Chains A and B, each alone.
Chain A
Amino acid sequence: MPGLFEGFFARHRRGATLITLVLTSLLCLAVANRAVVIKPKEIGLSVAGFFQKGFTGFFNWFGDTAGSIRQLREAREELTTARARLQEMDEVTREILELRRQNESLKSQLDFANSLPAERIAAEVIARDTDNLFSTLTINKGSRHGVKRGMPVVAWQGDIEGLVGKVVLVGPGTSEVLPLYDPQCMVSSRVDSTRDEGLVQGEGKDRGTLVMNYVKKIAKNKITYGDLVVTSGLGGLYPKGINIGRIRDITAPTYQTSLVLQVEPIIDFDRLEYLFLIGPEPDNPAPAAGQQTPPAAPVAK
């Protein structure tokens, strides 16, 4: 009997190898798709992250060296401008201090609790997905630095803070961030000007836009193009008031009881370099990823 098997494998070595490899892949896919915790993936992430850091660092070094001379010239010009702005800022600071004093006084009168700011972890984007089929970002911070799965990620671009996405996979030294435009990323949000709530979802990198659903049709006349969409804070995953994007199109399908808003992200994802991961607020621990629930769709009357 063993001779029979040996003979069979000797004759069909190529086919048997193909079947073994395909079955191994399918088995891995089936197991991974059931969200079983796979340690080899985290190990692989950390090993790959080591090389990715090396590659990025090596090429950044060349780029930085070449650009340093130009940067020095620019820095001199910026210094002159900055000095002028510093004087203006001095006056603004004085005004802010006065406003802050007034604000604290009013808060204490209204008996509002002072909330401590959430911890932030700065991180650098060291790699993106190797294939064009997925759209994650790899950052240089992992569980060693306090990163946890589900942490919201923000970035600053042109003096504006915007939501980037959330952490979906954490290795010891690197992590994977799921960007906002990914269809799997959903954010409980509201239109800043009208306070109407909805759910923002990515439409894929191909389109690069977001869609906001579950906004009541009654709000159609109040919402205008260019209105800012921010996080609502509902669900507890994303803190309240983070900029998401601006409304680019408003449609009211007759077959739906809610509006469909096209939202252009405030962040240019192709220019992302540095990110900030937001930790849980001291009095509001972050829930596990995937606990975000959509707001109830408005009921037709």
Chain B
Amino acid sequence: MAVCILLQSTILNRVAVRGVRPDLALIVLIFVSMRRGPMVGQVSGFATGFLEDLMNVSPLGFHSLLRTVIGYVYGLLSGNVFIDPFLMPIILTVIATILKGILAGIVSAVFGLAASGFITFTGRLWIEVGYNGVIAPFLFALLNLFKMFKQADKEGA
């Protein structure tokens, strides 16, 4: 996930659509949470978000809060949802991206934060929703190749 964040801030700028990049770290977080459960999901979310906050101008705690909640919520679904290779990754990622947008709007409203992307339901959010949705099946397929996730799947089963 740390590698995903580094990619997002550097290389993925080259494939940005109207300045919007896919949130690879979010897709990986969904995958990990769905495989490993709420405990690993929330801790991974917090760690990733905290790292993101350290790297950005965003206030410390902003991304860690969003990703902790998303990691926990998706972790609760672990073992209860059958993940097919194509449709479910898209649905899960689209919902997570919208959830992230809503949470970002709430947190920014509560803490009075003002940043350019904070207007929740704007074109930028929908571009990110689409972009993440398109990438999700491929990233899920790639992550399925990793041995550690396969083992976790067996444990979970």
Q: A residues engaging B (CB < 8 A)?
A: 13-14, 17-18, 21-22, 24-33, 38, 40-41, 43-45, 47-48, 51-52, 55-56, 59, 126-136, 138, 168-169, 176, 178, 181-184, 202, 204-206, 208, 269-270
CB within 8 Å: A-B pair count: 169
Evaluate contact between B65 and A206: CB separation under 8 angstroms.
no
Evaluate contact between A25 and B61: CB separation under 8 angstroms.
yes
Evaluate contact between B64 and A129: CB separation under 8 angstroms.
no
Of chain A, the residue at the smallest CB distance from B22 is A132
How big is chain B's contact interface, by range?
Answer: 35 or more
Least distance between B53 CB and chain A CB atoms (Å): 8
Evaluate contact between B10 and A55: CB separation under 8 angstroms.
yes
Instruction: Tell which of B1-9, B86-94, B139-147 binds the partner.
Output: B1-9
Chain B residues within an 8 Å CB radius of A51: 6
Evaluate contact between A128 and B64: CB separation under 8 angstroms.
no
Q: Which of B10, B23, B115, B125 contacts A56 (CB 8 A)?
A: B10
Q: Which of A24, A132, A182 contacts B61 (CB 8 A)?
A: A24
The 9 closest A-B pairs by CB, nearest first: A44-B54, A28-B61, A25-B65, A32-B59, A29-B61, A204-B116, A127-B9, A48-B55, A25-B61
For residue B83, CB closer than 8 A to chain A, the reply is no
Chain A residues within an 8 Å CB radius of B113: 33
Max chain B Cβ within 10 angstroms of own Cβ: one of A33, A132, A176, A270: A132
Evaluate contact between B116 and A202: CB separation under 8 angstroms.
yes
Q: Which of B43, B51, B65, B117 contacts A22 (CB 8 A)?
A: B65
Evaluate contact between B52 and A131: CB separation under 8 angstroms.
yes
Given contacts A31-B60, A41-B54, A184-B115, contact A132 B39 (CB under 8 A): no
Of chain B, the residue at the smallest CB distance from A54 is B6
Evaluate contact between B46 and A26: CB separation under 8 angstroms.
no
